């Protein structure tokens, strides 16, 4: 990863922090997701637009993927 610095108004910063908290993600992750959404898709790897979009916070989430994705276990 490359570290960068940006300037936001206080209003933008507070709104972004609120949204990140609502989603349960860091401010940095919110900004990365926002950029991914705005940037053109690499036609050779269109799936990359969604890379890293799902986070459960559960280290064992791969064992309960059906519940995470579909809300139920089959």
C-alpha distances out from residue 27 to 12, 41, 68, 70, Å: 12, 23, 23, 27
List per-block mean pLDDT (blocks of 10 residues) for the chain, which spans 74 residues: 93 97 94 87 61 60 65 66
The domain segmentation of the chain, as residue ranges, is 10-70
Q: What is the pLDDT of residue 1?
A: 83
pTM: 0.55
Q: What is the pLDDT of residue 24?
A: 93
Q: How far apart are CA 59 and CA 63, in angstroms?
A: 9
Q: What is the pLDDT of residue 38?
A: 86
Q: What is the pLDDT of residue 14?
A: 98
List, in order, residues 6 or more apart from 37 with CB less than 8 Å away: 49
Q: What is the pLDDT of residue 54?
A: 57
Q: Do the Cβ atoms of 49 and 36 come closer than 8 Å?
A: yes
């Amino acid at each position: 990863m490359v570290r960068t610095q940006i300037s936001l108004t206080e209003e933008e910063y507070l709104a972004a922090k609120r949204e990140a908290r609502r989603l349960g993600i860091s401010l940095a992750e919110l900004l990365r997701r926002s950029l991914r959404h705005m940037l053109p898709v690499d036609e050779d790897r269109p799936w990359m637009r969604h890379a890293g979009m799902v986070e459960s916070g559960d280290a064992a989430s791969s064992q309960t993927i059906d519940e995470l994705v579909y809300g139920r276990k089959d």
